[in-house]
Each structure stands twice: as structure tokens, then as C-alpha cells.
Chains A and B, each alone.
Chain A
Amino acid sequence: MIIGTENLSKYYDHIPAIKGLSIKIEEGATGLLGPNGAGKSTLIRVLLGLLQPSSGDGTVLNFDIKKEGIKIREKIGYMPEHDCLIENMTAVNFVTYMGVIRGLPKDDALQRAHETLYYAGIGEERYRKIKEYSSGMKQRVKLAQALVHDPEILFLDEPTNGMDPFGRDEMLVIIEDISKKGKNVLLSSHILPDVEEVCDKVILINKGELVVEGRISDLLENKNILEIRVKKDPEILLKNMECKYEIFGNTIKIKDYPDNIYSKLLKNAAENNIQIRYISDVRNSLEDLFVNLLGD
């Protein structure tokens, strides 16, 4: 376990941002999901040791979040969601500077700055001032600064924000590569396919409380949906069938269906003269899980 919390709560003037959160994050890449205001940012700040929890305990790499903030931050690379770069500096100077304030000797910081910028996909542009960069390039610099001190855990907050599709793909490949190279990644993103692509575990929080946590493969298992589109009378097609379903116009979504559903459907369709235009076993996605668990 690299991160663990036990009944962790954080209140702002009696308003709860996190309520009795108990989570365990194992090594690897984990997605942190939740709607706006769910408490993700507060959780990250508490884990970084920047905010004292109102109650409960927590550890990051076995360091106490209440007492050992500096030791925790030494081992964590944080890539914030919003712009945070010093615009008047060149990328290489900026990342070197970040390396120095995280405790790297100056020469090492400079070398690491070149390496991490190059790794993040910033080539010769690293000698240009950051204010001249596109938003995609800024995201890469943000990733490089998070990596410069070779942290054990990376907190990535919306890393593909503002990136074009190619840039987004490249960023995800880099994050996946970092994860494969032994870095632990905590990825907070609204783009659920990104999380699904990179992470193997997920934590979903809402209103400061844990909704679900676990391996993505386990969470999506046995939750497949059968999607059927008919020309008309969708309800008649489901006559005498015991299953949970939802109807959207001429589209039917059947959840947790029995194995012999295909034969029953075809029989009903033949008997009632209903034209089935499309039938497919739709794999449940994180997006579906998100919607199902949090409602609308």
C-alpha cells in the first residue's frame, strides 16, 4: 500500500469536503474520479500534507500526513490542473528551478530538467520562454516539473487538459510508460476514457465520501449491457422477460441479462413481428459506471 487513509475528514468552517474517507491505494496507476466538488483536490492537498485533516489518519509511503508533509512532498511529483508555470522563464530554467527547490543539487537539477523535458516531448523549444508555448506544450512542461526530482508517486490532475488528440495520445503513452517504469500514478481526470486507458485501479468519491474503489476490470465485470434498437414497440419485445431494462425511444438497454436472452428476444420479435435493427453486447465503460453510481 502506498497511500492509505482511515476515517479521514476535512471540514471548511463546518462544511465537509471529505467525510470519513477510508481508502487504500496500491502500487501502480490509480484513477481518482468524482464530480466537481467531490473532494478530489482537498484529498490531494491533505495527502500532500498541505492541509491538516479535521479528523482521521493517513499515510503516504508510510509517512504520516499530519506530521511528515515535507518527507511526503519529497517523494511526490504534483502536476496541477490549472496553469502554474512562471511564464517569463524558459522551460529548462523553470524545471531546473523546481528541481532545486525540491532538493536536487543544481547541476543534477539542470541535467534532470533537460532529461525530463525531452522525455515529456519538449525538444529544442525548452530554451524558449514558457509564455510562447501552446497549452499542450505547457502541459508537457508541467509533467516534466513533476518528474524532475524523480518522485515515487505522481499526482496528475487533468494531465490532458487543452491538448489536441495527438498530444493527448502522446501524453497518455508517457503516463503509461512512467507507470510501467515503476512510478506510482494517481490520475485525477474528468476524461474517463483517459483513466480507463492508463489506470488499472480506480477510486470514485462523491461529496467527500467513498463511492467505490477497486480494479477497473473487477468493477466493470458482470455489468455488461445489451443494447437493442428496434423499429417500433420496444416494450413488446421484452414481453414475458424478467430483467432490468431502460428504454430510450426505440433503444433498449438491458442490464444483467440471462444467458438465454438472445433466443427469447428473437422468439418475441418473430411472434410480434418486430424488426430488430441492431443488437450488441455493449461493454460497460467507466463512464457508465460513473453515471450508474452517481446517478445523473
Chain B
Amino acid sequence: MAIYTQDYRKWKGTYRKRPYKILGIIHFGIKRVWSSKWVKICLILGWIPTIFFIVLSILFSPFITALFSEGMNQFYFNFLNLQIIWTILLTATAGSSLISEDIENKSITLYYSSPIEKIDYFLGKFGIIGTFISLVTVLPSTVLYWVLNLVSSTPVRENLWIWGASVLSSFLIIVFLGILILSLSSLTDNSKYVGASFFGLIFGSSVIAGILYEVTNNKWAILISLLENLNIIMEKIFKIALERPIEWYYSFSLILGMTILFGVFSYLRLRKLELSE
């Protein structure tokens, strides 16, 4: 056993590369976010539907037939739509403080004076929120898909694309909501404001779109709703044939444009933060 004295010791070793440091930000970030009871509650809520479907399918085999009555793709589309509610809650609780807390503590200086780039910091933070969102999107839809396949003995090869569609849709949700919450989180040092503005943007845009559509009957009003745009893209991914007044690529372009815009905004904001420290 080493005998320690209060003396300075040199370190002999080789510094790890950038990906390891990004993983370090993710690892420590996940541990910190995990300590929040609200995050745990959101995760538990997010897994209730999955557990419910799995348990009932195992106990009552006709239940699966009922689930798939409108087609497997429709079921998994509906399932992910349901998951979006928990995803929004989880994104707000887990993501609000990711950057705002660093602004409040002024610890952003320490990140920037470390051998990482600003983009590494952002990727690390994105990795944290991405991991949590995937816990209520990719993971449950994957678990559900494979368990239901096993229970129902459905031929996997024919329906494998549905799992791919679930993963792709989850990826879309992760990227959009993740970047949105991070850009909001970079705006202020108060995470409560971040959460409130996130809910405001998500639900407020749907309310405004609904009202405008009712009043003007203009089909383009739908584009204002962030959730509706995500829905339209997911319908396309899951090959759901619905009569929509606007084509999916308008929604896709809008979501893609906003994601890029929020990403660029976050980067500029992070640059400005360093200068103003």
C-alpha cells in the first residue's frame, strides 16, 4: 500500500484523445442527471407503456392480435407517439440544466481551458441528453419489438423495417429535441426558465397552429406546430397512409432547418459565453 505524504507528485502517463474526453463529459453528466428524482420518475413513467404491453402480451396471447389489428407499423407509430409525451417531460427535466448550470457556476471557463474544443463540450452535453431520450424512445421500442416478435412468432425478416423505422424516428426525436433544449439551456443561467420555454415552444406552437388553422383554415398553419411536423415525418417513416394537407418534405425541411439553426445558434452562444466570462 502506498504511503501518502502531503507532497506534490508528478504523473507519468499518456493523455487520452478527444473522444475519450467527450465520453468523460457524457459519463459524469449522466451520473449527475441520474441523481435527480424527477428524471427517475420520468424514466419510470416512460417505461410503463412498454411493460404494460409486454406483460399483457405474455399473459394473454390474443392481446397481440388486438395490438396489431391496424398493422404492426401503425402500432409502433402510435407507441412512439405516446412515448413523445415522456420524452418531452424527460428532455425538460434532464436537459434544462445541462448548459445553464455551467453558466450559473461559471464552470464553462474550466471546460474551455481544458484540452477540448467547444464542439466537444457541446457533443458531450448532447450525448447526455441523447442517452436519456434514447432510454424512453430507442430502448423501449426495441425491447417491445423483439419481445412481441418472440411472443407472437411473427416472421422477423418481413417486419424488420418497422424496427428500423422506430430507431430512425427515435433518432429524429433525439436530435431535434436534444439540440433544442441545449440551445435554450445556453441562453440563461436559470434552468427553470429553460424548462418553461421548452414547454412553451413545444406545446405553445401546437396551440397556436391549432387556433390559426381553425380560424384561417390555411393548411400551412400546421407547419407552426413542432409536434405535428415530427408526426408528419414519422408517418412517412412508418409508411402510414394518411390524408395530409401538406407534404411530408415541408415538415422535414422545416425540422431539419430548425435543427441546423438551433445547432448554429448554440455554437455561437457558446463562443460568446467564453468571451463574456
Check B11 for interface membership: any CB of A closer than 8 A: yes
Are A118 and B13 closer than 8 Å at their CB atoms? no
Are A85 and B107 closer than 8 Å at their CB atoms? yes
- Chain B residue nearest to A89 (CB atoms) is B32
Shortest CB-to-CB span from B98 to chain A, Å, is 12
Shortest CB-to-CB span from A102 to chain B, Å, is 5
Are B13 and A84 closer than 8 Å at their CB atoms? no
How many CB-defined contacts (below 8 Å) exist between A and B? 102
**Which residues of chain A from 41 to 72 have any CB-CB distance to chain B below 8 Å in the complex?**
45, 48, 50-51, 70-71
Chain B hits for A181, CB < 8 A:
8
Are B13 and A105 closer than 8 Å at their CB atoms? yes
Interface range, A side:
35 or more
Contact among B4, B107, B109 with A115 in the assembled complex (CB-CB below 8 Å): B4
Are A101 and B116 closer than 8 Å at their CB atoms? yes
Interface range, B side:
35 or more
Check A249 for interface membership: any CB of B closer than 8 A: no
Whether A104 touches B106, Cβ cut-off 8 Å, given contacts A70-B116, A178-B8, is no
**Which residues of chain B from 118 to 164 have any CB-CB distance to chain A below 8 Å in the complex?**
none
**Which residues of chain A from 120 to 150 have any CB-CB distance to chain B below 8 Å in the complex?**
145, 147, 149-150
Contact among B7, B113, B115 with A119 in the assembled complex (CB-CB below 8 Å): B7
Check A201 for interface membership: any CB of B closer than 8 A: no
Shortest CB-to-CB span from A126 to chain B, Å, is 13
Check B9 for interface membership: any CB of A closer than 8 A: yes
What are 7 A-B contacts defined by CB distance under 8 Å?
A: A45-B274, A82-B106, A83-B106, A84-B106, A102-B21, A118-B4, A178-B8
**Additional pairs, 17, CB under 8 Å, beyond known A82-B106, A100-B21:** A48-B112, A70-B115, A84-B107, A86-B102, A87-B105, A88-B32, A100-B24, A101-B111, A101-B116, A102-B114, A103-B15, A103-B17, A106-B24, A112-B11, A114-B4, A118-B4, A118-B6
A residues with a Cβ closer than 8 A to B are 12, 45, 48, 50-51, 70-71, 73-74, 76, 78, 80, 82-89, 93, 97-98, 100-106, 108, 112, 114-116, 118-119, 145, 147, 149-150, 177-178, 181
